[in-house]
Amino acid sequence: MDIDTQKQLNILIQLAEADKHFAQVERDMIMRIAQERNVSPEEVANLIRHPEPIESLATLSNDQKFEYLNSCIDLINSDHNIFESELIFAKSIAIKLGFKKTVVDYLIENKSTTPISALKISVLNEFI
């Protein structure tokens, strides 16, 4: 598994566990992303059992930063329950990615009504 995929899956796993309930729909989403990137279920299971510290994310490209954050928002919305612990975690990830923490609220409020391309432009222009 490449380091970029490992970092992203690690973040999503920790986000899924932030509310102390790793929902099946969250697990399915993580497994789908892993499968798309040719990561074995065993590698994902190992990350779930042994999450890694979240290191600096500043070296990622803006596209990668948006992808990481967008996947966090998708995971938060996946079980149709938004928990404060998930928002806190997502905001800390947003900050590590170089965004203002208010980007999380913006994405949650606008994700279902705004095309992804427009969201990306707004996020990269207004929240860095």
Q: Where are the domains of the chain?
A: 3-126
- Distance CA(128)–CA(30), nearest Å, equals 26
Sign of torsion over alpha carbons 98, 32, 89, 108 = positive
10: CB partners within 8 A, 6+ apart: 47, 51, 52, 54
Instruction: Tell me what pLDDT residue 127 has.
Output: 95
Instruction: Tell me what pLDDT residue 21 has.
Output: 86
- Distance CA(48)–CA(114), nearest Å, equals 32
Share of the chain above pLDDT 90, in %: 89
Dihedral angle computed from the Cα positions of residues 102, 73, 117 and 98, in that order, rounded to the nearest 10 degrees: 50
Share of the chain above pLDDT 70, in %: 100
The mean pLDDT of 12-29, rounded to a whole number, is 94
CA of residue 10 relative to chain centroid, distance: 9
Average pLDDT, the chain: 95
The top-level CATH class assigned to 3-126 is mainly alpha
Q: Which residue has the tokens 């380091």?
A: 3
The mean pLDDT of 33-56, rounded to a whole number, is 94
Instruction: Tell me what pLDDT residue 55 has.
Output: 84
The mean pLDDT of 34-57, rounded to a whole number, is 94
CA of residue 111 relative to chain centroid, distance: 14
Instruction: Tell me what pLDDT residue 56 has.
Output: 81
Give tens-digit pLDDT for 67-91.
Answer: 999 999 999 999 888 999 999 999 9
| More confident position, 99 or 81 | 99
Instruction: Tell me what pLDDT residue 59 has.
Output: 87
First to last CA, the chain: 29
